[in-house]
Amino acid sequence: MPDNWGYVIGAYGLAVVVFGAYWLRLGRREREVAALAAGRRDRAASAGRETVRSGPRSPRPASSRADAAPPVTRR
């Protein structure tokens, strides 16, 4: 029987692609969540500093919260 190395490489290559894609997807979403968390902490910190300094300010716009919600609840 011929050796059919092409198929063997194809199969292992496919596995590499699938597992690699999943691995990259995990990494990408971890970075997204970390960025969101960092952004939230920064906003909270700066809002805290400014209220201490200058008294009551106008409320923070809610749009950033709305943008944050959809990506993380989807799955």
- Residues of the shown chain interacting with other proteins in the complex, contacts defined by CB under 8 A: 1-5, 7-8, 10-12, 14-15, 18-19, 22-23, 26, 29-30, 33-34, 36-37, 40, 68-69, 72-75
| 50/38 Cα distance (integer angstroms) | 18
Tell the residue number behind the tokens 């894609």, with chain if given. Answer: 21
Q: Which residue's structure tokens are 């909270």?
A: 44
- In the bound state with other proteins, the residue whose beta carbon lies nearer, of 26 and 50, is 26
Output the smallest distance, CB 46 to other proteins, in A: 16
The nearer residue to other proteins, 57 or 72, going by C-beta atoms, is 72
CB 72 within 8 Å of CB 33: yes
